[in-house]
Structure 1
Amino acid sequence: MDALIPAALDLVNTYGVVVLLFVFVLEGALVGKLIPTRTLFVAVVLAAGSDAFAFLPVAAAAIVGATIGQCVLFVSVRHYGLDPTELDIVPVSDDRLNGANRWFDRWGLPAVAVTNALPGTRGWLALPTATSSVSTTRFAAASLVGSVTYTGALVAVAVGIERAVRFLAGVEANGLFAVA
């Protein structure tokens, strides 16, 4: 797992944000839940820099990728009868699926946006939503809203890390940490 982030960063350096888009498509489809997407995203933003023109393509790739992945999962469940609990590549337990069903039953479509904004719950409501009467367009919009919020929070974390490193480097350069 330790080698995954450097390898992914090398792929992003070589092939650009297309790799990040693909990783987030997998994450959105629940296939990539074992990939440390948050860490990869923050690392790529840090590598790109906090300039808006540098990180906007990175953020767009993550948002679009996650939304595409969740829509693929939604359509696969709704139109093709896919049962993700039967696939070894999708880490879905019955407990997690039951929890997602309860959230959707209680809160409806807004729960899709909220859970997409929270680490660890992203994408799980695609399954119960696909078996409801919610349209694909409305699901995609809710997924998009949550992914924008999530990605914005990750960008804020990356910018905060970058500023903290700059601050600490400046403090150290000024000798404020020097031991007498």
Structure 2
Amino acid sequence: MIEPHVETALALVGTYGAAAVFVVFALEGALVGKVLPARTLFVAAVVAAGVEAVAVLPVFVAAVGGATVGQILVFVAVRRFDVDPTEFRVVPVGASRLDGANRWFDRWGLPAIAASNAVPGTRGWLALSSASGSSVSTSRFAVASMVGSVAYAGALLGIGLAVALGFESAVGLFGGDLVASL
């Protein structure tokens, strides 16, 4: 049996394609909680697209673009409009997380943004630290954010392709019986 969130992810991808991936990754990048787990949606989109490079490239670009746009929105909101993300219930930001992000950014600078974006669980947090009280330009932040998101989406792409290849092999081996059992 397929999990309900995977079914929802497949339905979104089937209906809206890479645009659904873009929106979910933009929300994740903007630290607005989880509408759907972005990783699940990405892998489901890759599985739905298959193993053709032309088919998965829009999913990859949408994920990287969405995450980068979301993080830039947070960066600009904090830097230019003095938005305090801790005031919003939909943004799960705690003081301890901000302190840790500040220490990372103070120690490592822009490479910390790229590294944190490549790791699940820390993605996007350094947008807050780099925006408040640093001299990092929006364009330099965007590049660092994108580099980390490319690494993250690349790892997810590898997982998605492995699942897609495994699924295709299983269907070839078992035929329609496997598909009917799902």
TM-score normalized with structure 1 length: 0.89
Distance 1:32 1:50, change over 3 A: farther
Aligned to 1:122: 123
Quick one: structure 1 residues 100 and 24, their matched pair in 2 at CA, closer, same or farther if it must change by over 3 Å?
same
- How far off its partner does 1:90 sit? 0.2
Secondary structure of the equivalent of 2:146? helix
Task: State the shift of 1:161 in Å.
Answer: 1.9
Partner of 2:178: none
Residue type matched to 2:158 in 1?
Answer: A
1:125 is paired with a residue whose SS is helix
Aligned match of 1:146: 148
RMSD between aligned alpha carbons? 1.7
Q: Secondary structure at the match of 2:120?
A: coil
CA deviation profile, 1:52-107 (whole Å, cap 9, x unmatched)? 00000011000000000000000000000111111101011111111111111111
Residue 5 of structure 1, CA deviation: 3.2
Structure with greater helix share of residues:
2
Structure 1 window deviating more from structure 2 (105-114 vs 15-24): it is 15-24
- The residue that corresponds to 1:178 in the other structure is none
**Partner residue in 2 for 1:44:** 45
- Could you say which residue in structure 1 is the equivalent of 2:179? none
Q: Secondary structure at the match of 2:139?
A: helix
Structure 1, 158-167 or 13-22: larger mean CA deviation: 158-167
8 Å contact from structure 1 (residues 29, 123) kept in 2:
yes
TM-score of the aligned structures, taking structure 2 as reference length: 0.88
- Aligned equivalents of 1:23 and 1:104: distance in 2? 26
For 1:118, the aligned partner's letter is: V
Residues 2-151 of structure 1 aligned to structure 2 (within 5 Å): 3-33=4-34, 35-131=36-132, 132-151=134-153
CA-CA distance at 1:164 after TM superposition: 3.3
Q: Distance in 1 between matches of 2:173 and 2:5?
A: 32
Task: Return 5+ residue gaps in structure 1 as ranges.
Answer: 174-180
Structure 1's 14 and 143: CA in aligned 2 closer, same or farther, altered over 3 A?
A: same
Deviation at 1:108, TM superposition (A): 0.7
Q: 1:164 aligns with which of 163, 166, 169?
A: 166
Equivalent pair of 1:63/1:151 in contact (CA under 8 Å): yes
The percentage of aligned residue pairs carrying the same residue is 57
Distance 1:51 1:170 in 2: 17
Q: Name the CA shift for 1:12/1:34 in 2 (closer, same or farther; >3 Å).
A: closer
Residue identity matched to 1:104: F
- Partners of 2:106 and 2:28 lie apart in 1 by 24
Q: Where does structure 2 lack aligned partners over 5 or more consecutive residues?
A: 176-182
The Cα shift of 1:170 comes to 6.2
User: Partners in 2 of 1:93 and 1:47 — Cα distance?
Assistant: 36
Shift of 1:140: 0.1
